[in-house]
Amino acid sequence: MRDFARALLLWVAFALPLNLAWELVQLRFYTLWSEGTPLVIAYSIAHCTIGDAMIAAVAFAVGAAASRRKDWPHASPWLGGISAVVFGIAYTAFSEWFNVYRIASWDYAPSMPLIHGIGLTPLLQWIAIPILMIALFRRWGHGRSDVESFPVSGKWSRQPAKEVTHEVRRRG
């Protein structure tokens, strides 16, 4: 469990600065940019970035559950990655709809491109950032793809992954 927690923390460590950068770039697509005070804008950016990190943490767990691998960015990047992206997009689509149309927590600027009424930039965020995070995790994460798998029984085992044919080199 400690290895999973370490991998999850690394994932969140990658998620925070990447999502902060994304939030700053997409800010002009929301009315907050033109209507909010500097303090409200700063609070909103921090709030959204922390929320994005929480979504990323759950997306990592979804990827681990789908691939049955705690080290899925190394061992099963396609299955884990697709699962994480689908979760991120689904949650974001619901959250955007709920916050824009149901409780009016925020609104889109006229410049926001929409897909069925949902902002395009937050949806793209959950395609682009998880893919980048997988690449970063595979490059700098110290997990090993041949160490542990997560079988159907729900217990960690020390069986090598059969689908992995490469060895992860550690940088020293």
- 172: number of CA atoms within 13 Å, CB side? 0
- 73: number of CA atoms within 13 Å, CB side? 25
* pLDDT score of 149: 42
| Residue, of 145 and 84, whose pLDDT is higher | 84
Q: Which long-range contacts (CB under 8 A, 24 or more apart) does 26-31 make?
A: 26/121, 26/122, 26/125, 28/109, 28/111, 29/108, 29/109, 29/111, 29/112, 29/119, 29/121, 30/106, 30/107, 30/108, 30/109, 30/112, 31/106, 31/107, 31/108, 31/109
| Residue, of 45 and 151, whose pLDDT is higher | 45
Percent of the chain with pLDDT over 90: 70
Taking residues 88-94, report their average pLDDT.
Answer: 98
Q: Are 51 and 170 in contact (CB under 8 A)?
A: no
**pLDDT tens digits for 120-131?**
999 999 999 999
**Every domain of the chain and the residues it spans:** 2-140
Quick one: tokens of 124? Answer: 């793209």
Percent of the chain with pLDDT over 70: 81
Residues in the chain: 172
* pLDDT score of 147: 39
* pLDDT score of 29: 97
**Residue 164 in this model has a pLDDT that exceeds 60:** no
Spatial distance between the Cα atoms of 126 and 23, rounded to a whole number of angstroms: 12
User: How big is the CA angle at 158 (ends 155 and 162), to the nearest 5 degrees?
Assistant: 105
